[in-house]
Structure formats: C-alpha cells, structure tokens
Amino acid sequence: MKTTLVYPGITGKGFNSLGQGMDSGWISHGLAMLAACAKQKGFEVNLLDLRAMRDWDHYREELLARQPDVVGVSMMSVDYNPAMQCLQIVRQVLPEATTIVGGPHPTLMLDEVKDDPRIDHIFLGEAEITFPEFLARHQRGEPSERIIPSIHPDLDALPFADHEFFLEEWRKWGYNLNSPEAPFVPELPPPFVTVIAGRGCMYNCSYCQPAERLIFGRQVRRRSVANVLAELEELRARYSFNSFMFHDDCLTEDRDWVVEFCQAYRAAGFTQPFFCQSRADIIVKNEDMVKMMAEAGLRGYLIGFESGSDRVLKFIRKGTKRWQNLEAARICKKYGISIWANYMLGLPTETKEEVMETISMLKQIDPDYYSPAFYTPHPGSDLYTYCLEHDLSLIKSHDSYRRNPNEPKIKGIDYQWLQWALAESQRRTLPNQLRRQVRSYWKRYAQPRKIARKLRQLVTGA
C-alpha cells in the first residue's frame, strides 16, 4: 500500500518557489512527523510538495506516476483553496484512491469540510498515533470513521521529524541550497535547520486562542531536554548544521526548561547560534535567563510586540505593556540579541492615534527586522468571532488569511492611511540609521584578522 502526503502551501509564493525563505524554504514539521511515524510502522510514504511543482499539470502527472492508494493533504486555513484543488484532482485522476485531510483548518472549522465529497476521512488535532493506526486498518481492509478524533501523544515517545522526507523530494526538482532549510537572517548561517521542542501556549491572546488549545489541548507539552538534544545530535551528524531555529510559539515560557537546555547544549559541545520566539514580559522578568541564552548561542528573539498602545494590548489580551516592550528591546541590545519585531496594524477598535503609538514605539525599539501585518481575523480565535459578531470581516477568500500587510482585512479601517503608517513604522530615525551604519562598518572593517593583515601590509610594504 502506497501513501502520498501533500503539502499545499503555495498561497504565498506559488508553484516553483523552493528555497525562498520561511514560507517556501522550510519543512512542514506536521507532515515530517506523520511520515516518520508511518515509516516507523513499516508503511511506504512519499511526498508531493506543491512548492516544488511547476503547475497543476505537473501535480497531476506525479499522482498518475506514483499511483498512491491513500492521498493525505495537510490543510491550514490560508491553504484551503489549493488543498481542495489537490483533492479535486485526486478524485479526477485516481477515483479509487482514499483521500484524507488533517491540520489546523479541519480541526477548527470542521463544519466547512465534514460533508465535502472530495474527502473520505478527516483527522482532528494531532495525528501521530491515529494516522498509522488508520493506515493499518486500511491495509487490512477494515473501515474507519469519517471523522477521526485526536490523540495527544507522549512527545518523547515519537520519532524525530523526518527532514529527509522533504529534502529527498525537493532535490528531485532542483533544490540545491547547501542547507536542509533556507536561512532567513545573516545571524543564522547555512546549513540551517528548524526544530520544535513543544506544543501549545500558556497565554490567552485573543487573536490566537482558543485555536491552539483546540489543536493541542489546554496544557503545554514539551519534549525533554535530553530528547531535543538527541535530535540536534542527529541533525548535526547528518547535516553538520551551522545554525537552527526553535519553531515553538513561546519557548521561553518555561524558564526551568530553558535553563536546563542552555546548560546541556553547551555541555554537549554545541556552539551553533539559534533564534527562538519569546515575549516582552518574559524577557523583562528573566534578564538572567536572557544572558544565559545569549552565552549558549541565542542570536535573536522573535517578539510579538503587536502594539504600542496599552489599551490595544489589553483589548487583544496580550498580557504585556508598552513599557515592557521597550524594556525588552533594551535588554536584547544589552546582550547582543537581534530583534525580529512582530506587530499588527489595523486591529479592531484601534484608532489612528493608537497606530501612531505603535510607530513611536518601534522607532524607540529600532528592531533589526520588521515583521508587520495588517490584523487578519483568523478562524478559531476569539477575535475572529468578535469580527463576525460585529460584521467586520472583509475576508472573501481563504487566500486572504495570510498576514500580509497589503490588502483590507476588516471594515472601519482607513487602509490608504494604514499603508502610509506601515511605511512610517519601518522608517528608522536618523540617529538609529547612523548607529547602524557605524556598527556595520565596524563589523566589516574592524575584525582582528583584517586589522592584523593591514598592519602586516604597512610593516612589510607588501
């Protein structure tokens, strides 16, 4: 029995987009985990990644060439349209194949897919246990429920994500980067990889929750430090990676885990730099932990500052204050940690004056990387429900669930003005520009080796 898993993530950059940063150059850990679990039970599994395909005809050709008995499609809300197109084509060219879907969107928006004739079975939540069990029943000719509930696995008992599942497929279609995944910042040199240490988030931001709890459960579950280090050892042996990123929603929420990891990471001889996500309030309350992480190899935090207005931060249940955002930035700079600033403009109830508060905050923070979004009501969140109840949503297609800051998302927002605000939010003040130029020149020209070489040239005349 052959199974093909499909990654349909082309809403952002389209077909033939491999290696183009985060959304087109990173593996799907969900599918990589399912592949590892299925292979562990002896099943034959292959991958079709639309990002590697030329077009829909190419996808058809590959389905016909592989002749899978089961086709499983991963579905995020933003990828609903290409995912359903994948299933439609399966029905056309392989009418006898069994089709299954899983991922966040079916879990959060079950009513939208539960009766669709293109789908035979729907997996809710985590499927590392239920997916191999389904394949075993299918191979024996036994029936399965149409809707298969989630079972939360013991994360330490799972095999590691199968990076080669993606890389083997990518290489067929011209992926030639010297990196298992595409690096996205200079601080993280190739070969670069991503890992996930846990699932869930303890915080209650209204633009996210309760979606995450519906997928992963109410409790945050994290792999043991020993288990994560074992995966890093394996990745080092296979790829000799020079940097990595933790994909966790908020790795630093568990201080004890982070402290143990930093100590074990250094003791195991790792020196590779890494990025992870954090929060301003955690950074402010745990400066000693920040220092320890920097000493262990942390080179950057992705921080959800979201807004510079205390009223807006309270409205979205962020649990942070403007002063904490500013103080967290100061601490990061103190320890040489780059700042990837996530923030939103155009939130419900937000005034132009409050947008200007966000802009003024960003000019003080002076982040290394700007990551802006126009607020997008996303299925499964309380703020999504708020937008529906107040008839605010302008989302007409699933494609618009992207967090891109270039199209209207909700009513009542002056998006023409917001485009100006977006540009202004990323315009550095003159003092900040000068400081960055000085640092850039210093890094470029004041390296000890370069200074020594210049001195030798002066002394020898060579």
Residue range 229-286, pLDDT digits in tens = 999 999 999 999 999 999 999 999 999 999 999 999 999 999 999 999 999 999 999 9
Give the domains, in start order, of the chain with CATH numbers: 2-157 (3.40.50.2300), 179-427 (3.20.20.70)
Tokens of 355: 């947008």
Residue 217 has pLDDT above 90, yes or no: yes
Report residue 441's pLDDT band, with 50, 70 and 90 as the boundaries: confident
DSSP code for 358: H
Q: How much is the average pLDDT of 287-305?
A: 98
Q: Do residues 116 and 86 make contact, with C-beta atoms less than 8 angstroms apart?
A: no
**Which residues fall within 8 angstroms of residue 294, CB to CB, at 6 or more apart?**
335, 336, 337
**Which residues fall within 8 angstroms of residue 384, CB to CB, at 6 or more apart?**
377, 378, 393
Report in angstroms the alpha-carbon separations of 150 from 82, 125, 381, 452: 24, 5, 19, 61
pLDDT confidence of residue 461: 58
Strand pairing class (298-306; 274-278) = parallel
Percent pLDDT > 70 in the chain is: 96
Report residue 439's pLDDT band, with 50, 70 and 90 as the boundaries: confident
pLDDT confidence of residue 442: 74
Report residue 338's pLDDT band, with 50, 70 and 90 as the boundaries: very high
Q: Do residues 290 and 259 make contact, with C-beta atoms less than 8 angstroms apart?
A: no
Q: Position 65: which residue type?
A: A
DSSP code for 16: S
Q: How much is the average pLDDT of 349-354?
A: 98
pLDDT confidence of residue 377: 97
Tokens of 56: 């829909």
What confidence tens digit (pLDDT) does each residue in 62-74 have? 999 999 999 999 9
- Range of lowest pLDDT (99-108, 329-338, 443-452): 443-452
Q: Do residues 121 and 98 make contact, with C-beta atoms less than 8 angstroms apart?
A: yes
pLDDT confidence of residue 435: 86
Mean pLDDT over the full length of the chain: 95
Residue 352 has pLDDT above 80, yes or no: yes
What confidence tens digit (pLDDT) does each residue in 361-370 have? 999 999 999 9
